Chain A
Amino acid sequence: DSGVTQTPKHLITATGQRVTLRCSPRSGDLSVYWYQQSLDQGLQFLIQYYNGEERAKGNILERFSAQQFPDLHSELNLSSLELGDSALYFCASSVSRAAGNTIYFGEGSWLTVV
């Protein structure tokens, strides 16, 4: 158990819908990351927050947004869903944003868009 908690574990929804994925980082970790894992794209970095502020943005679609709340939990919002958004979404956390810090991953949220 990494200490990073993600909900829901599985989600099936229809095209055009909106979903919210939730992440609780490890106790004391200030930095939260979101990744998307799909068969064709591999592991893609989406976005990073540090202590409530956006720190880096990767290949995140405009239909997707995220935020980190004052209690440090984070949410990833996916809207106008398409079939191609079906993937495993990982949240991860680390104590800081220093290079070399270990980044711990949750078990992921499986999203299936039908």
Chain B
Amino acid sequence: GDSVTQMEGPVTLSEEAFLTINCTYTATGYPSLFWYVQYPGEGLQLLLKATKADDKGSNKGFEATYRKETTSFHLEKGSVQVSDSAVYFCALSAYGGATNKLIFGTGTLLAVQP
């Protein structure tokens, strides 16, 4: 079945460091890909998405590019801030069929230190 694999956390960085969180997927067809973020004590918020190959999603300085050839959707940010500390979830939504439910990875905890 469809699945998402994320790098294990926690990821601990100093402020202004470069961030990469790896995400790969397995799916039949051409899924849509998402990154959600969960700040401490809060719900899930959509960070960015891409719906077709080579699309780049971007928001709040974060970027991810849909790479069909490597089945990947890695999250990057050039300079992280303490306020970026959160859990980041990669997810896919399968193309076609009766449902567009999201399938999530296990989440990656990011801790940014001042």
**Hey, which bits of chain A sit against chain B, CB under 8 A?**
2, 31, 33, 42-43, 45, 48, 55-56, 58, 90, 92, 94, 96-108
19 contacts between A and B (CB under 8 A): A42-B105, A43-B104, A45-B101, A55-B99, A90-B44, A92-B44, A92-B102, A98-B100, A99-B32, A99-B94, A99-B95, A100-B93, A101-B93, A102-B49, A103-B46, A103-B102, A105-B44, A107-B43, A108-B43
Report B1 CB to chain A, min CB distance, Å.
11
Interface of B with A (CB < 8 Å)? 31-32, 36, 42-46, 49, 51, 89, 93-96, 98-107
For residue A31, which residue of chain B has the nearest CB?
B100
> Is the pair B99, A97 in contact by a Cβ cutoff of 8 Å?
yes
A90 and B45 CA atoms in complex are apart in Å by 12
Separation of A81 and B68 alpha carbons in the complex (Å): 43
- Is there contact, CB below 8 Å, between B49 and A100? yes
